Amino acid sequence: MIWTRLPLYGPSKPSTGGWQPLRFDGGAFHVKGTAELARALLVLRLCAWPPLVTHGLAFQAWSQRLLGSRLSGALLRASIYGQFVAGETAEEVRNCVGQLQALGLQPLLAVPTEEEPDSTAKTSEVWYEENLSAMLRCVDLSRALVDAHGPARNSLMQLKVTALASTRLCKELSAWIQRPRGSSELSPERLAEAMDSGRNLQLSCLSTEQNQHLQASLSRLHRVAQHARAKCVRLLVDAEYTFINPALSLLVAALAVRWNSPEEGGPWVWNTYQAYLKDTHQRLEQDAEAAHKAGLAFGVKLVRGAYLDKERSMTQLQGKEDCTQPDYEATSRRCIVTLLTPLTKIAHKSK
């Protein structure tokens, strides 16, 4: 993750938060018990077994039918779920975060909720409103977990847009954005103004029902950002599938217009860039330049990516050119280049 006080060109200042250098000398093992280490090794081996990776959901359904939901759930919590999830209660999460902080690491909490592109479309706003409530609670927990003596900027939280806005809406907006001439209706400034005022946009590219859902989605995103700003929690908005990422970037840009201004002391809203996509470096430079021209702070979360197989299969079905890097090594090279670009600009500006 890359963070600057000003729009990607801010001065580099020494940290005052008591950060410890990250070490790879085996010290992490001292905060783990034997049972936790054994579980980690078991999960590592299971995740390297191709049949389980390919048919994981089928195995889970089979386990529930054979063992019952209670026993199957207990086995899942004791193995894979327990390995990757910080906890089911606030106290369990605090214990997990305490172990990370003992190693000089800071937590990045996330509400693990999103709407898959092939899932059944939600017919009401109830599901999204419930997700909003969960995210507001996650903001509170993110703030509470950070050491009270550390700087407020150490509070981070991951946000999934498709937990607050439907995948179908994001797909419609992305298709419209990618048209040759685009649409002036879909400017970040206009969406930001709608977030603040609560007025309905009535976009011509959407139906009446979709416009209503868009307005409700903008309200939910605004409420999360507003609450996060009040609690001094940075929102790191996740990237998802390429066919909805244009809409996600538009919504992030609208949030940035409102919350990443110098008056707010941003960046409070960060976008995510996936290194396994071929156009990531170009998009990051374009977004950084746009933020600079608008006088906005710019926060970047850089990841390798998480949807490789599905992206490739969708590309093949549509007969389009593969948008992903050809292999792991190419992704690693692109990740380094993309990371060095903003760091170089920061270093030049600070001289």
More confident residue, 344 or 263: 263
- What average pLDDT does this structure show over 230-253? 93
What is the C-alpha separation between 240 and 163, in angstroms, rounded? 12
Per-residue pLDDT tens digits for 113-169: 767 666 666 768 999 999 999 999 999 988 888 755 455 556 899 999 999 999 999
What is the C-alpha separation between 260 and 22, in angstroms, rounded? 29
Cis previous bond, 107, omega within 30: no
Per-residue pLDDT tens digits for 156-205: 999 999 999 999 999 999 989 888 765 678 899 999 999 988 888 888 88
Per-residue pLDDT tens digits for 2-15: 444 434 433 334 44
Q: Which of 138, 305, 322 is nearest to 238 (CA)?
A: 305
pLDDT at 149: 46
pLDDT at 157: 94
What is the C-alpha separation between 224 and 222, in angstroms, rounded? 5
Domains, the chain, with CATH or none: 2-15+103-350 (3.20.20.220), 29-102 (no CATH)
- What average pLDDT does this structure show over 57-71? 89
- What average pLDDT does this structure show over 60-79? 89
Residue 169: both structure tokens together: 């809406």
More confident residue, 90 or 190: 190
User: Alpha carbon of 14 to those of 18, 30, 226: distances in Å?
Assistant: 10, 29, 28
Q: What mean pLDDT is reported for the chain?
A: 84
pLDDT at 94: 86
Quickly state the pLDDT bin for 278 (edges 50, 70, 90): very high
Q: What is the pTM of this model?
A: 0.82
pLDDT at 123: 66
Quickly state the pLDDT bin for 19 (edges 50, 70, 90): low
What is the C-alpha separation between 8 and 295, in angstroms, rounded? 10
